[in-house]
A = this chain, B = another copy of it.
Amino acid sequence: MTSHDFKATARTSQEARAVARTRTLIKGENGIGTVRRTVLPGGLRIVTETLPSVRSATFGIWAHVGSRDEPPALNGATHYLEHLLFKGTSRRSALEISSAIDAVGGEMNAFTAKEYTCYYARVLDTDLPLAIDIVCDMLTGSLIREEDVDVERGAILEEIAMTEDDPSDCVHDLFAYAMFGDDPLGRPVLGTVDTVNALTADGIRRFYRKHYDPTHLVVACAGNIDHAKVVRQVRAAFEKAGAFRDGPADPIAPRAGHRDLRTAGRVELQSRRTEQAHVVLGVPGLARTDERRWALGVLNTALGGGMSSRLFQEVREKRGLAYSVYSYTSSFADCGLFGVYAGCRPSQVHDVLRICRDELDHVARNGLTDEEIGRAIGQLRGSTVLGLEDTGALMNRIGKSELCWGEQISVDEMLARMAAVTPDEVREVARDILGQRPSLSVIGPLKDKQAARLHDVVA
Contact string against B for A residues 94-106, beta-carbon threshold 8 Å, 1 for contact and 0 otherwise: 1100110111111
Which of B158, B375, B390, B391 is within 8 Å of A344, CB to CB? B158
Given that A105-B379, A307-B102, A380-B105 are known contacts, is A323 also in contact with B168, CB under 8 Å in the complex? no
Interface residues of A in 355-404 (CB under 8 A from B): 374-375, 378-386, 389-391
Residues A378 and B308 in contact in the complex (CB < 8 Å), given A156-B323, A167-B165: no
- Of the stretches A2-10, A174-182, A269-277, the one at the interface is A269-277
A382 touches B124 (CB 8 A): yes
A31 at the interface (CB under 8 A from B): yes
A103 touches B375 (CB 8 A): yes
Quick check: B164 and A378 within 8 Å, CB to CB? Answer: no
Complex Cα spacing A381 to B309, Å: 40
Looking across the interface, which residue of chain B has its beta carbon closest to that of A51? Answer: B53
Kindly list chain B residues whose C-beta atoms are within 8 Å of the C-beta of A98: 306-308, 312
B162 near A276 with CB under 8 A, answer: yes
Is there an interface contact between A162 and B31, defined as CB atoms closer than 8 Å?
A: no
**Residue A324 at the chain B interface, CB threshold 8 Å:** yes
A321 close to B (CB within 8 Å):
yes
Q: Does A162 lie within 8 Å of B107, measured CB to CB?
A: no
Closest CB in chain B relative to A273 CB, distance in Å = 6
**Residue from the list B54, B107, B275, B322 in contact with A165, Cβ < 8 A:** B275
Q: Are B102 and A379 in contact (CB under 8 A)?
A: yes
A124 to chain B, nearest CB (A): 6
Q: What is the interface size of chain A, counting residues whose CB is below 8 A from a CB of the partner? A: 78
Q: Does A108 contact B (CB under 8 A)?
A: yes
Expressed in whole angstroms, the Cα–Cα distance for A275 and B169 within the complex equals: 14
Question: Once the chains are docked, how many angstroms separate the CA of A321 from the CA of B153?
Answer: 9
**Does A62 sit within 8 A of B, measured CB to CB?**
no
Known contacts A151-B320, A321-B154, A343-B162; A56 and B386 CB within 8 A of each other = yes
Please tell me if the beta carbons of B104 and A378 are within 8 angstroms of each other in the complex.
yes
Indicate whether A55 reaches chain B with its CB closer than 8 angstroms: yes
- Residues 89-121 of A contacting B (Cβ, < 8 Å): 94-95, 98-99, 101-108
**Residues of chain B contacted by A161 (CB below 8 angstroms):** 275-276, 323, 343, 345
Question: Is A108 within 8 A of B55, CB to CB?
Answer: no
B320 A154 Cβ-Cβ under 8 A: yes
Q: Give A contacts to B, CB under 8 Å.
A: 30-31, 53-56, 86, 94-95, 98-99, 101-108, 122-124, 127, 150-159, 161-162, 164-168, 273-276, 278, 305-309, 312-313, 316-324, 343-345, 374-375, 378-386, 389-391
A-B contact pairs, 26 of them (CB 8 A): A31-B55, A54-B389, A56-B389, A95-B313, A102-B379, A103-B379, A105-B381, A105-B384, A107-B386, A123-B386, A151-B318, A155-B322, A158-B323, A158-B343, A159-B323, A161-B276, A161-B345, A162-B324, A164-B275, A165-B167, A165-B278, A165-B343, A166-B168, A273-B273, A389-B390, A389-B391
